[in-house]
Amino acid sequence: MSSYVVYVVGAGLLLVVGVHGALTARHLVRLILALNVMSGGVFLALIAISARGAGSAAGPDPVPQALVLTGIVVAVSITAFVLALARRIHALSGRTSLSEEDLE
Amino acid sequence: MEWTFWMAPGLLAVSFVTALLIFPLDEEQVRLRTALNLGGATLKLILVGVMAWGILTGHEFEARLSFVGELELVLRLDYLSLLFIVLSAILWFLTTVYAVGYLEQSPHRSRFFGFFSLCVTATMGIALAGNLVTFFVFYELLTVVTYPLVVHRGTGEALEGGRVYLLYTLTGGTVLLLGIAWLHSLTGPVEFVTGGQLADLAVERPATLRLIFLLIVGGLGVKAAIFPLHGWLPIAMVAPAPVSALLHAVAVVKAGAFGIVRVIFDVYGIEVADGLGLLAPLSLAAAVTILYGSVRALAQDDLKRLLAFSTVSQISYVALGVSLLGPVATAGGLVHLLHQGMMKVTLFFCAGILSETLGIHRVSEMRGVGRRMPLTMAAFTVAGFGMIGVPPVAGFISKWYLGLGALEAGQEWVVPLLALSGALNATYFLPIIGAAWFRSPEADWAEFDGPETDWMLLFPALATALLSLAAGVMAGLPFSPLWLTSFAVTEIHGP
Amino acid sequence: MIVTMVLLPFLGGCLAFLLRRTAPFVAVLGAASVAATAAMLAVGVWRSGPRIYAIGGWGAPIGIELVADGLSAIMLLTSAVVVLAVSVYSIGYHEHDDSDAWHPGEGFWPLALILWGALNVLFLSADVFNLYVALELMTLAAVGLVVLSGGEAALMAAMRYALAAFAASMMYLLGVAILYGAYGRLDLDGLATVVSPEPAAFVAAALIGGALLLKTALFPLHFWLPRAHAAAPAPVSALLSSLVVTGSFYLFLRLWTGVFSTIAVPAAGQFVGALGAGAILWGSLQALRQQHLKVMIAYSTVAQVGYLFLPIPLLTSAATTPDGALLWGIDAWNGGIYHAISHALAKAAMFLAAGTIVHALGSDRIVGISGIARQLPITTYAFGIAGMTLIGLPPSGGFVAKWLLLSAAFASGQWWWAVVILAGGVLTAGYIFLVLGQELSLAGTDQPVELSKVPRSMEYAAFSLAVASLLLGLRVIEPIALLQAGLPFVEGG
């Protein structure tokens, strides 16, 4: 039971940190990192759900673990892609943040 | 299925297929295009003839197609439709001849004639629509397919005219749709039935029905150019002359007026509309428009703008006639649908001839033009007299019946209105006609040989002028517009 | 048959990646065969009701099920038609760059096919997690496609899009986690029976709903859309604006009327509807003041997305009113989906037509397209007909949708949506005819501009889509009948 609480609290903390970062960061890499921290929180929440059943006869619930696995694959793919994109943007324009000018 | 099922859709298909065949043609395929145009118009005339014969001998033409849910698209011929399709078929034929001559040298002829045919398809659909939604479908289609015609010249002025035209008509269409959808939610599908089908609802929810009437007639009033919704009409004059002719005499303006007729007689029913107190405001609006149009026309020097304001005035005779109770006034209003069409198309044909042949666009340039173009000006004179209401031209018949009907309905105020309007019409038409015949020309177009202009331009103008004259002289005989109208009046008011 | 529709695009995507030169033909062939399959499926569903396929013989709740009801079938068919036309168009579009080096065309085919495969999975999936995977795959492919044109603007737009999608993806996953934590299952039908009004369900609904609104770019979460859709190459813009947006809307509609139907309160419905109304007004006004053709069309998508969400308040109130479903729920449902498919066809046609113009002129400034009707008449007709559908002028699919929504709005007494619908139509007409007027204009074009040659196939691909959107307004019975197969809120539907 105690591990369950740890996971839940951890997930909540990571989520808060991630969301805060995503809303305040300017630099692209910081932004990407913040979103990754946020996704870490989501994964931990899923693990917490899985851990609920840990004490019972059936053992930990495998379904949320499968979900986490898929989630990680998605998060890693997007992260890899946006990092490459950020490098390319930097190389082309020297910018490290999203442009704010109005679309004209 | 019976042959009577296919007649109404066939009538639409004729001009629709003509349009589809014309669009892909190259600019240079003049003969083929002209053959298609005239072939389509002729075939349409024949079909209309068959249908007219059919309805007079007791056949019923109706086609239904399931649309959305319980809604159907209905095409049906009744005596009101008959008036409109006879007018459109005859005038379309003549306008096509005229347009072929008029646009001989201009670019994008395939596009022009394609949309021209689509425009007639939509008009036929409006005439034959058997319920409100079908009417609306073709009414909006008409807006869309006339836009390329209005902006055909492609100049900045034309585009501006097109923009104003759309702004007015699409907004009007939207208001109309709002009214239709609302009415539909209260009653289910609204079929056009003489006497309407709202009698029960008029007792339950009179206020709602009044508001819906305002929305629907307000929407239709844009195309019917009822003051103060007429603003687009003088600006849309940038279109080529055959388009203006078609817009004013057959298609757009008539669609609005015809819609008002339908709504009063076949949706609300004249008794219900009167009971709700809807007719008096409408006749008042029509009266104001009649005077307003004439007064504005007085101040115009541009010939086409003058004619546009004259249309604003004349078309409201229809609304006036149908909003006065009684069969005689109804006859006067309905017959004016036809008479105004024939006379106005003549005037626009003549205006087009003047600008094409001699470059005349202004009233002040028309001095002495009668000597140079006697036939054109003869046609112009006949139609102009008709507009004033001089016997025996067709316009007189309309005004006579309107006046009689007003007296019969106890609306004496209409008679001085008619007299005043006639006087105003005379004030702007007579000086033009007088100057054209009796003043000496300033310009040097005195010397010329051969025909006064291309016969393809002249023939339609003469034909419509003769028709206007014949419609007046032979009003009492079978097959005159008045005779056709009498069936519709019997249908509405009983024998 | 269902599996073919999922497998073929993915297989085609891999083949296109390997074959490169012959990729276009793989794509066209695949699109044609899937379109045929989708048509057969649609007929099947229409005749004998929804189909279920359990992959590997494992049914719910353990295995993964693919379900095709009327809504799925019509979406599959629509997207197959759009992909087919876009493929034909793209052959011509990518033809001109024939350098030996890598060029955008090579990236286009595999990504487009995978995008489409993911979309098909999305339309067929019946559990929230499989839907998640499909949604992510679709988004990743979409972001990849935006980058193809390669300029700085495109990269920035793609970055914005990717980050928004990333955030949305995590929100969605968290929502799924909460649902699973509370109810222990993931299949749509099962969840719909157990979800009840309690905090966990509300939080999950808010997270998943918010994520989907962000992905569908509903106002005010639309910030990423105009740049991304405008910066992408024309065939990509067409796919994004017509299909990707529709895909996430589809999911929202499914969940709102399925899993969350028991907790969707009228106030929430009104809120979503208000956002839709905001989108219509804001998107249209923005579209009106744009000077670039593709940006204008992208803002038009923002506005049209608003229409997609107008049925939501009507459906919600129908579910909470006796007989509401029959009185206006069905109309709202049909109208919303009819709008989605008409818009998908018309918007794809419009972006393709715009692409043709840009291709020929080399610029997409609206003032520069004067007189283009002379040289590209078919493209002009395509643009005009697609515009009619977007405005909702009869006879077009857009008009049918508008009519159904109007009827539903009046029947439910929520007449304010009717006003929004109609006002949006007038605004749409404003920007559509602004462009059409320019195209027909002859002012200042005494010397015709030198145009690059445009393959006829490009012009006709756009034209066919536009005509398809028009035909939807003429034959209404069959599509509507198909939609009644598996209605979520009518007993025995």
Segment A23-44 mean pLDDT:
90
Q: Is C203 on the interface with A (CB under 8 A)?
A: no
> Cis ω on the peptide bond leading into residue B228 (within 30° of 0)?
yes
> According to the model, what pLDDT value does residue B360 have?
85
pTM of the model: 0.92
Share of chain C above pLDDT 90, in %: 48
| Cβ partners under 8 Å of residue C364, min gap 6 | C292, C293, C294, C354, C357, C358
> Cis ω on the peptide bond leading into residue C220 (within 30° of 0)?
yes
Please give the single-letter amino acid code of residue B84: F
Q: Which residues of C touch A78 (CB under 8 A)?
A: 136, 140, 162, 165-166, 169
pLDDT band at C11 (very low <50, low <70, confident <90, very high): confident
How close are the terminal C-alpha atoms of chain C, in Å?
23
ipTM of the complex: 0.91
Q: Which residues of C touch A104 (CB under 8 A)?
A: 291
| Interchain CB contacts (distance < 8 Å): A and C | 88
pLDDT band at C102 (very low <50, low <70, confident <90, very high): low
Segment A54-79 mean pLDDT:
82
Q: What is the DSSP letter of B364?
A: G
Where are the extended beta strands (E) located within B204-251? none
| Cβ partners under 8 Å of residue B81, min gap 6 | B127, B128
Contact C176/C128 with Cβ under 8 angstroms? yes
* pLDDT beyond 60 at C445: no
What does each C-alpha distance from C60 to A59, C55, C253, C258 come to in angstroms?
A: 22, 10, 21, 16
- What are the start-end ranges of the H helices in C324-414? 324, 330-361, 372-375, 377-391, 397-411
Q: Is C128 on the interface with A (CB under 8 A)?
A: no
For B205, the 3-state DSSP assignment is coil
Segment B442-470 mean pLDDT:
80
Contact B257/B323 with Cβ under 8 angstroms? no
> According to the model, what pLDDT value does residue C449 have?
63
Retrieve residue C3's tokens. 């599996």
Q: Cα angle vertex C150, ends C146, C151, to 5°? A: 110
Taking CB atoms and an 8 Å limit, are C403 and B133 in contact across chains?
yes
Interhelix angle C311-319/C245-257, rounded to 10 degrees, is 10
> In degrees rounded to 5, what are phi and psi of residue B192?
-85, 105
> According to the model, what pLDDT value does residue C192 have?
87
Q: Which residues of A touch C140 (CB under 8 A)?
A: 74, 77-78, 81
Residue from C109, C142, C141, C149 nearest C14 by CA = C109
For C217, the 3-state DSSP assignment is coil
Taking CB atoms and an 8 Å limit, are B141 and C433 in contact across chains?
no
Taking CB atoms and an 8 Å limit, are B137 and C399 in contact across chains?
yes
Q: Which residues of C touch A39 (CB under 8 A)?
A: 166, 170, 173
Q: How far is CA B333 from the centre of its chain?
A: 13
For B495, the 3-state DSSP assignment is coil
HSE of B200, CA atoms in CB hemisphere, 13 A: 3
Q: How close is the nearest chain C Cα to the Cα of A53, in Å?
A: 11
* pLDDT beyond 50 at C308: yes
> According to the model, what pLDDT value does residue C493 have?
36
Q: Please, do chains B and A touch (3+ CB pairs < 8 Å)?
A: no
Q: Please, do chains A and C touch (3+ CB pairs < 8 Å)?
A: yes
Share of chain B above pLDDT 70, in %: 98
Instruction: Round to whole Å and give the CA distance between B446 and C373.
Output: 42
Residue from C311, C402, C303, C378 nearest C347 by CA = C303
DSSP string, C71-135: HHHHHHHHHHHHHHHHHHHHHHHTTS---SS--HHHHHHHHHHHHHHHHHHHHHB-BHHHHHHHH
* pLDDT beyond 50 at B13: yes
Residue C293's region, left for phi above 0, alpha for psi from -120 to 50, else beta, is alpha
* pLDDT beyond 50 at C492: no
pLDDT band at C215 (very low <50, low <70, confident <90, very high): very high
Instruction: Round to whole Å and give the CA distance between A29 and A22.
Output: 11
Retrieve residue B16's tokens. 């629709």
pLDDT band at C364 (very low <50, low <70, confident <90, very high): confident
Q: Which residues of C touch B133 (CB under 8 A)?
A: 403
pLDDT digits (tens, 9 = 90+) for C231-281: 888 999 999 999 999 999 999 999 998 888 888 888 899 999 999 999 999
